[in-house]
Amino acid sequence: MPHSVCRALTALLAVAGLVSTVAAQYPNKPIKWIVPYPPAGTTDVLARVVAPWLAENLGQQVIVENKPGAGNNIGTEFVINSPPDGYTMLLVNPANGINASLYKKLSFNFVRDIAPVGGLVRTPNVMVMTTKLPMKTVAEFLAYCKGNPGKVSMASSGSGTSTHLSGELFKSMTGCNMVHIPYKGAGPALTDLIGGQVQVFFDNLPSSAGHIKSGNLRALAVTSTARDPSFPDVPTVADTVPGYEATAWFGVGMPKGTPREAIDKMNAAINKALADPKLRARLAELGGSPIAGTPEDFGKTIVAETEKWAKVVAASGATVD
């Protein structure tokens, strides 16, 4: 065998051995979990609830870091461009599927450039409104909206988020003329909704749950096809608008090329955490239903949701402001 070929083969074997050793030791340092939104929204709340359970199962810190901006794309791009070593991961959320069709010039293709790791939860959105107005049902809200065209402000946690598209779907199915007001995350949107600066918000249930329970906001309906167990007295939008349905989904992704061994270890930690009765109870309080499974299962969810929301974007004519 020529010396050059022998050296190349030796180098390849050495690299393979190094990768195997690194994977076997994973994780041996803290893991950074990027949330592409500001604090206080559902993605942030979810990450901070789940992170301690992952840390316990992995034996390393899982540090939540907020990187908001550009409708979720800044944090997403940061993870996609990070070293594929298993130490940087993304809180995958509905905007990742929506942005694929909403934005025309992204520097990445999410389905192609992310390595699915595992699902976390699926939650309904909730149609919440300011208590500054008297309406208590979807039907009453529709009557008010149609009697005051263009005077109702609909908040969202950013253009292209599930909170935005859920509202656009409602508008297209009801003819309710609302002005979209995008915020940089659910936190500031909720602040203005409570204060009455905007009137309605199709928020992810986990970030609004506390405000609903405290009476700071009024829940008109959930956006799932069935009532949510955490708020059994709140009807569905579909009770008034037949056929309406929108849910939010969340999970974990890593940069494409991350070693399969690292992905499998993180997936196992996620599934173990989601199987714990105490964590399941906490997630239920937030309105979340666990979606444990394999990396391939979560990959199918990403593809299916990307295709679903592309149709909503096209039908609604929604654009990035």
Could you report the per-residue pLDDT of 115-136, keeping only the tens digit for each? 999 999 998 999 999 999 999 9
Note the pLDDT of residue 18: 43
Note the pLDDT of residue 4: 55
Q: Is the pLDDT of residue 315 over 90?
A: no
CA end-to-end span of the chain: 62
Rounded average pLDDT over 229-244: 95
Is the pTM of the predicted complex or chain greater than 0.85?
Answer: no
Q: Is the pLDDT of residue 142 over 80?
A: yes
Residues 6 or more apart whose Cβ sits within 8 Å of residue 133: 144, 196, 199
Q: Is the pLDDT of residue 320 over 90?
A: no
Residues linked to residue 116 through DSSP beta bridges, in sequence order: 253
Note the pLDDT of residue 11: 47
Q: Could you tell me whether strands 178-182 and 114-130 are parallel, antiparallel, or unpaired per DSSP bridges? A: unpaired
Note the pLDDT of residue 159: 80
Rounded average pLDDT over 20-31: 80
Give the chain's domains with CATH numbers. Answer: 3-123+248-316 (3.40.190.150), 124-239 (3.40.190.10)
Could you report the per-residue pLDDT of 272-299, keeping only the tens digit for each? 999 999 999 999 888 889 999 999 999 9
**Residue 15 pLDDT class (50, 70, 90 cuts):** very low
**Residue 14 pLDDT class (50, 70, 90 cuts):** very low
Q: What is the 3-state secondary structure (H, E, C) of the chain?
A: CCHHHHHHHHHHHHHHHHHHHHHHHCCCCCEEEEECCCCCCHHHHHHHHHHHHHHHHHCCCEEEEECCCHHHHHHHHHHHCCCCCCCEEEEECHHHHHHHHHCCCCCCCHHHHEEEEEEEEEEEEEEEEECCCCCCCHHHHHHHHHHCCCCEEEEECCCCCHHHHHHHHHHHHHCCCEEEEECCCHHHHHHHHHHCCCCEEEEEHHHHHHHHHHCCEEEEEECCCCCCCCCCCCCEHHHCCCCCCCEEEEEEEEECCCCHHHHHHHHHHHHHHHHCHHHHHHHHHCCCEECCCCHHHHHHHHHHHHHHHHHHHHHHCCCCC
Chain position carrying tokens 């009765």: 277
One-letter amino acid of 255: P
Longest dimension (CA), the chain: 85
Q: Please state which of the ranges 39-43, 45-49, 306-310 shows the lowest mean pLDDT.
A: 39-43
**Residue 104 pLDDT class (50, 70, 90 cuts):** confident
Q: Work out the percent of the chain whose per-residue pLDDT is above 90.
A: 74
Please tell me the distance from the alpha carbon of residue 270 to that of residue 289, in angstroms, as a whole number.
Answer: 14
